[in-house]
Amino acid sequence: MHCYTADWNPLGDEAYYRKLDLYSMVWDVREESLRECLVAAAPYGGPIALLKPKKEKSPGARPELHIYSASGVRLASTLWKNCPAVHLGWTASEDLLCIQEDGSVLVYSIFCEFKRCFRMGNEVLQNHVVEAKVFHTEYGTGVAILTGANRFILATNVDDLKLRRMPEVPGLQKPPSCWAVLCQDRVTILLLAIGQDLLLLDNTTCSTVTLPGMNPLAGSYLRMAVSFNYRYLALFTDTGYVWMGMSHLKEKLYDFTCSLRTPPKQMVWCTRPRSRQRAVALAWDRLLLVAGNAPKGIEYHLDEDSYLVPELDGVRIFSSSTHEFLHEIPEATQEIFKIASMAPGALLLEAQKAYECSYALPPPSPVCLRSALRTRWVLVLRARCQKTSKKESQKADEYLREIKEQDLLPEAVRKCIEAASYEHDPETQKALLRAASFGKCFVDKFPPESFVETCRDLRVLSAIRDYQIGIPLSYA
């Protein structure tokens, strides 16, 4: 609990971000080996798939497909006996999609058990796959493919395969610099960049798009990122300019200018439900930048090459040795732990700690006890304990009285329960729940359901977060 805010980093005036350690990876994957692999991490704290290339010193050796838990525990592995793979991705039901050069898609379970195979059409077979993306919509998990003929083929649901051949892009002689899958009005469309131009492909047409508030000197587009819920879009240009807005392309949120002009290796959204400030995380070789509605972003220096996995309420960051979670500090947590906070939840936590101290004073040392047996120091020690206990009890009473006078005690209890649900550290969870339990004693007819459900949910979350299971789910 001491220096709880030491790892908080401000982004603007209202939002704070922090990076939590989830696991020390227990796998035997080195940084050089990880850099050469095809990598795919399932959402919601799911498993990590690595397709290792075949070794140059052993031409007859085959690549290996490995699936690990989020903590690096190997779940399964198998030899890759198929056509070279271009992209790996996970479905919403945690099946692994392996997209090959010839357009065939192999489906594996999380234990490397082959389930089925489907093809993306003869045109893909003839022209091969240049680039592919796996995306999720309300209809299911989809696959989008760019062929060697610079045509896009789309399937919005791999469980009910219906291929869509997107319209041809006039004058497209080489692959676009970047592209992304968007969902607008229950229709899946493609947004692609060619230099300084943005093109939108729907079922029948290809049209040019102008983003609102885009700097005319922004330059050429190099990277795109769509948020986890497909509501927000970010673009990075060759001048270091980052545009952030809504995915319907009609509203700009804010922009940011980086000092680096080289395109990041990855760019993903880092946001959460009811976020105070939505942000984008950009990763270079040894630098992670969090950019939002602030003149200066948050910089984290990385020790190794890392991979970013967007989640509903943040970003998972894993390397060959560590697995971390970057997220915005929830509002309830900010109110309670912010320095010099006088919010009801903060006062209730202080009241409970003072009350606990008044009845849990440390015992005197054995040396003091032996000395006290021979002298009158027993009375002195007892008097000091009583004095300290009375002082702490008075502090607890003052804090409670201040909350009650504002009629905010039920709100304070709710905030402590909510803040406990967002915490990953068990000791912090217990401290907040003790404060909520303490405050409930002074509230008439406080409904116990939220407290009981939070305790039950945290017990389950703590169990599955253990490294042997390796599912770092959050409460959001």
Assign 179 a pLDDT band (cuts: 50, 70, 90). very high
Assign 31 a pLDDT band (cuts: 50, 70, 90). confident
pLDDT, average across residues 159-181: 91
Please count the CA atoms within 13 angstroms of the CA of 426 that sit on its side-chain side: 7
pLDDT, average across residues 63-84: 93
For the segment 15-25, what is each residue's pLDDT rounded down to a tens digit? 999 999 999 99
Cβ atoms 165, 122 nearer than 8 A = no
Q: Which residue has the higher pLDDT, 372 or 92?
A: 92
For the segment 404-460, what is each residue's pLDDT rounded down to a tens digit? 888 899 999 999 999 999 999 999 999 999 999 999 988 888 889 999 999 999 999
Assign 128 a pLDDT band (cuts: 50, 70, 90). very high
Considering 60-64, 151-155, 212-216, the range whose residues carry the highest mean pLDDT is 151-155
Alpha helices in 142-224 (DSSP H): none
For the segment 324-368, what is each residue's pLDDT rounded down to a tens digit? 999 999 999 999 999 888 999 999 999 998 888 766 545 555 545
Q: Give the C-alpha separation, 291 to 257, whole Å.
A: 9
pLDDT value at residue 171: 83
Q: What is the dihedral of CA 54, 55, 58, 60, to 10 degrees?
A: 0
Residue 315 DSSP one-character state: E
Residue 240 falls in which region: left (phi positive, over 0), alpha (psi -120 to 50) or beta: left
pLDDT value at residue 378: 43
Structure tokens at 443: 């509230």
Assign 379 a pLDDT band (cuts: 50, 70, 90). very low
Q: Give the C-alpha separation, 16 to 331, whole Å.
A: 9
pLDDT value at residue 397: 84
pLDDT, average across residues 107-130: 94
pLDDT, average across residues 198-227: 92
How far separated are the first and last CA of the chain, in Å rounded?
22
3-state class (DSSP) for residue 339: coil
pLDDT, average across residues 389-395: 65
Alpha helices in 39-127 (DSSP H): 122-127
pLDDT at 165 over 50: yes
Q: Which residue has the higher pLDDT, 236 or 61?
A: 236
* C-alpha 8, offset from chain centre: 16
Helix (H) or strand (E) holding 400: helix 377-405
Angle at 339 between CA 334 and CA 340, to 5 degrees: 115
pLDDT at 129 over 70: yes
Cβ atoms 136, 130 nearer than 8 A = no
Closest CA to 317 of 98, 9, 39, 12: 39
pLDDT, average across residues 87-101: 95
Cβ atoms 252, 244 nearer than 8 A = yes
